[in-house]
C-alpha cells in the first residue's frame, strides 16, 4: 500500500529554490522593490516553498479568494478551505511588477504580481463572516463586535492592509526553522520518506498547539491502534499571547514518547504556520496540508483549532460531512477525519475514557483541556491528578516559573463543565 497522494493531483508543488537557481534569484531580489510581509505571510510562503500547501504555487487571486470563502474551492474547482492571501498598504505596487517579500530584514521570496485587488472593510468583514464565524455562543448576535475584541483570527484579517497581491512565488528561505527546530521541523518530502521507510501507508496526524496532556496522549494511542502509526505534528510558528512556545512543547512530547509510547509507532514533526484560530475551517486546512505530509487521517477531537466560545464543541468534525467533494479525486480532500469524542480521565472507570465509553457523571471525570492546563499553570493553582504526566508537568512548571509577565487566559465554558 502506498501513502496518500499529495493534495491537488500535481504531486508536491514546491516553490523553494536551491543551488544556482537560488543564488541567481537572491541576487535578482536585491534590486527588486521590497514588501514587508506579516508573520502569517511568512509561514504561508514557507509552506508553499516546501510543498506543504500543494497545489498552491502563490498567493490567491480575487477569484480564488471569493470562491474559497464561499465554496471551499479554488477557482479551478480544487478543494481549499481558507484564504491564503498577501496583504499590503503599498500604493505603488502594480500588476506586472516583480517584488521581493521580506520579514525583519530577511528576503523570503520573490513574486510576480499578476493581480492587485482592494480589500475594503466590507470585504474583510465578509471574509470573517464566511471563514471565522461558527455555531458557538460568541458567534451569535453581533458576531463582529465580539470577534473584534476576542478573536485573534478576525483581528488579524481586519488589521490587514488595503490591498491583496496575487501571483506565483519563488521561495528563497525557510528562515531559522531548519536550525532552530532541527530534527523536528520537516518538509513533506522528509515525513513521507520516514513513513515509507517504516512501511506505513495509513498515518494519522495529531495537531498540537498546546502541551501534550493525557487527552492528547489518549487520542494518539487510539490512532496507533487503528493506523500504522501516528504523526505528532506541532505548530512551530507564532501563537497568540499566553500560548506555550514550541520549544517547550517539543520537550513535553519528547518525554512522553520516550516513557509512554512504543517509539517506532510515533513520528514527531513540526510545521512553520501561524495559527489562524479558524476552528472548523482550520481543521479542514490541517487535514489538507497533512495529506501533503503523507497522512491519510486527521485526528479531530473537541473544539479543534477553536478560540473562546466561537465554535461548537464538535463543529470541526461535522464540517467534514458538509464540504464539497469534487469528482476529480486529485481536487478533492482525501485525508479523512478520525473523529473522537470528548475524552477525560474517569475516577470510577479508573482510566482514560470518552463520552462514548464512560457511563458515569461529570463529578467522576477529570476534564482535560490544554487551555485549562495553561490557565492553572499560569495562575499557580493545583493541577488535578491524572491531568498530565508528572514528567510533562515538571517541564511546564519550570517554564512558568521563569516568566516575568503572564497573560490572562480565557477558557471555553464547556471545558469548565458549565
Question: Tell me: the pLDDT tens digits for 239-277?
Answer: 666 678 888 888 888 999 999 999 999 999 999 998 899
Tell me the per-residue pLDDT of 163-172, one tens digit each, with 9 for 90 and over. Answer: 999 999 999 9
Tell me the per-residue pLDDT of 14-49, one tens digit each, with 9 for 90 and over. Answer: 999 999 999 999 999 999 999 999 999 999 999 999
Give dist(CA 223, CA 207) in Å, integer.
12
Find the radius of gyration of the CA atoms of the chain.
21
Residues classed as catalytic? 209-210
Q: Total domain count for the chain?
A: 1
More confident residue, 120 or 248: 120
- The reported pTM is 0.92
CA 342 → CA 353, 354, 413, distances in Å? 8, 5, 14
CA dihedral (127, 131, 136, 140) in degrees, to 10, reads 20
pLDDT mean over 350-370? 88
Question: What's CA 252's distance to the chain center, in Å?
Answer: 19
| Average pLDDT value for the chain | 92
State the pLDDT at residue 275. 87
State the pLDDT at residue 289. 98
More confident residue, 242 or 388: 388
Confidence at 371, pLDDT banded by 50, 70, 90: low
The whole domain housing 59 covers: 19-171
State the pLDDT at residue 342. 87
Tell me the per-residue pLDDT of 317-327, one tens digit each, with 9 for 90 and over. Answer: 999 999 999 99
Report which DSSP code applies to 108: E
Question: Has residue 415 got a pLDDT over 60?
Answer: no
Question: Has residue 395 got a pLDDT over 80?
Answer: yes
Question: What's CA 35's distance to the chain center, in Å?
Answer: 25
User: Is residue 353 in some structural domain?
Assistant: no
Decide: helix, strand or coil at residue 261. Answer: coil
Q: Are 57 and 80 in contact (CB under 8 A)?
A: no
pLDDT mean over 372-389? 79
Q: Are strands 229-235 and 163-171 parallel, antiparallel or unpaired?
A: unpaired
User: Is residue 367 in some structural domain?
Assistant: no
Confidence at 375, pLDDT banded by 50, 70, 90: confident
pLDDT mean over 201-223? 90
User: Is residue 217 in some structural domain?
Assistant: no
User: Is residue 242 in some structural domain?
Assistant: no
Q: Are 296 and 203 in contact (CB under 8 A)?
A: yes
Bridge partner list, 100: 34, 110
Give dist(CA 387, CA 397) in Å, integer.
14
State the pLDDT at residue 247. 83
User: Is residue 181 in some structural domain?
Assistant: no
Question: Has residue 6 got a pLDDT over 90?
Answer: yes
Confidence at 110, pLDDT banded by 50, 70, 90: very high
Give the rounded percent of residues in the chain with a pLDDT score beyond 90.
76
State the pLDDT at residue 417. 46
User: Is residue 283 in some structural domain?
Assistant: no
Report which DSSP code applies to 73: B
Decide: helix, strand or coil at residue 203. Answer: strand
Decide: helix, strand or coil at residue 163. Answer: strand
More confident residue, 229 or 417: 229
User: Is residue 379 in some structural domain?
Assistant: no
pLDDT mean over 60-82? 98
State the pLDDT at residue 418. 36
Tell me the per-residue pLDDT of 290-330, one tens digit each, with 9 for 90 and over. Answer: 999 999 999 999 889 989 999 999 999 999 999 999 999 99
User: Nearest Cα to 365, choosing from 344, 350, 385?
Assistant: 344
**CATH number of the domain where residue 116 is located:** 3.10.400.10
Amino acid at each position: 500500500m502506498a501513502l496518500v497522494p499529495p493534495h491537488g493531483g500535481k504531486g508536491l508543488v514546491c516553490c523553494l529554490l536551491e543551488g544556482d537557481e537560488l543564488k541567481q534569484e537572491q541576487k535578482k531580489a536585491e534590486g527588486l522593490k521590497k514588501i514587508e510581509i506579516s508573520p502569517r505571510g511568512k509561514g504561508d510562503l514557507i509552506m508553499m516553498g516546501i510543498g506543504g500547501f500543494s497545489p498552491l504555487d502563490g498567493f490567491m487571486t480575487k477569484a480564488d479568494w471569493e470562491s474559497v470563502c464561499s465554496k471551499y474551492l479554488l477557482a479551478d474547482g480544487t478543494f481549499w478551505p481558507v484564504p491564503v492571501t498577501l496583504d499590503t498598504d503599498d500604493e505603488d505596487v502594480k500588476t506586472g511588477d516583480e517584488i521581493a517579500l521580506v520579514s525583519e530584514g530577511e528576503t523570503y521570496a520573490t513574486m510576480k504580481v499578476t493581480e492587485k485587488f482592494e480589500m475594503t472593510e466590507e470585504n474583510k468583514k465578509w471574509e470573517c463572516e464566511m471563514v471565522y464565524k461558527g455555531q458557538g455562543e460568541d458567534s451569535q448576535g453581533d458576531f463582529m463586535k465580539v470577534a473584534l475584541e476576542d478573536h485573534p483570527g478576525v483581528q488579524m484579517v481586519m488589521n490587514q492592509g488595503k490591498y491583496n497581491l496575487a501571483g506565483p512565488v519563488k521561495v528563497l528561505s525557510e528562515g531559522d526553522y531548519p536550525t532552530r527546530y532541527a530534527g523536528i521541523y520537516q518538509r513533506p518530502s522528509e515525513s513521507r520518506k520516514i513513513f515509507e521507510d517504516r512501511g506505513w501507508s495509513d498515518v494519522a496526524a495529531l495537531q498540537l498547539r498546546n502541551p501534550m496532556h493525557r487527552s492528547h496522549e489518549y487520542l494518539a494511542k487510539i490512532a496507533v491502534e487503528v493506523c500504522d502509526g501516528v504523526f505528532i505534528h506541532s505548530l512551530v510558528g507564532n501563537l497568540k499571547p499566553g500560548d506555550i512556545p514550541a520549544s517547550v512543547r517539543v520537550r513535553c512530547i519528547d518525554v512522553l514518547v520516550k516513557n509512554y509510547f512504543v517509539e517506532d509507532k510515533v513520528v514527531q514533526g513540526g510545521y512553520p504556520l501561524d495559527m489562524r484560530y479558524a476552528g472548523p475551517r482550520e481543521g479542514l486546512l490541517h487535514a489538507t496540508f497533512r495529506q501533503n505530509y503523507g497522512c491519510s487521517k486527521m485526528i479531530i477531537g473537541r473544539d479543534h483549532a477553536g478560540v473562546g466560545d466561537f465554535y461548537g464543541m464538535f463543529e470541526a468534525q461535522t464540517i467534514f460531512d458538509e464540504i464539497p467533494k469534487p469528482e476529480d479525486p486529485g481536487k478533492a480532500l482525501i485525508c479523512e477525519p478520525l473523529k473522537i469524542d470528548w475524552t477525560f480521565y474517569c475516577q470510577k472507570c479508573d482510566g482514560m475514557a470518552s463520552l462514548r465509553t464512560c457511563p458515569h457523571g461529570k463529578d467522576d471525570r477529570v476534564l482535560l483541556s490544554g487551555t485549562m492546563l495553561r490557565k492553572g499553570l499560569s495562575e499557580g493553582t493545583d493541577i488535578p491528578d491524572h491531568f498530565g504526566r508528572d514528567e510533562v508537568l515538571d517541564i511546564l512548571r519550570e517554564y512558568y516559573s521563569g516568566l516575568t509577565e503572564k497573560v490572562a487566559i480565557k477558557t471555553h465554558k464547556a471545558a469548565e463543565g458549565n
